[in-house]
Amino acid sequence: MVCRLGFCDYFAGFLNLAFISSSPKNLLVRVLCAVTNLTVTTFFVVALLTVLREPQVFVGIAIFALLTIFSLLPKSKSSV
């Protein structure tokens, strides 16, 4: 699981970039991004509980938990 988590991080990162650049009305990207971020957060928690107690696991949990929360928040309608 730990070897494949790196690829999952890259995939989630690219999906988050698509989320940032998409319009607020693109529901598919919002849902995919939220599900992916929640899945990666779960992977990090499982890695923490089973195998790894390293600092990068705690950082990964924090980053992807915040990304999950932010992907669920409504996007502001103002364009600056």
Per-residue pLDDT of the chain (80 residues; tens, 9 = 90+): 444 567 777 888 888 888 888 766 788 888 888 899 999 999 899 989 998 888 888 998 999 999 999 888 876 665 55
Is residue 25 situated within a structural domain? yes
Is residue 39 situated within a structural domain? yes
Is residue 79 situated within a structural domain? no
Q: Which residues constitute the domain of residue 68?
A: 2-72
The number of folded domains in the chain is 1
Indicate whether this model's pTM tops 0.75.
Answer: yes
Is residue 80 situated within a structural domain? no
DSSP the chain: -HHHHHHHHHHHHHHHHHHHHS-TT-HHHHHHHHHHHHHHHHHHHHHHHHT---HHHHHHHHHHHHHHHHHHSPPPS---
pLDDT of residue 79: 54
pLDDT of residue 72: 85
C-alpha torsion sign, points 18, 23, 20, 39? negative
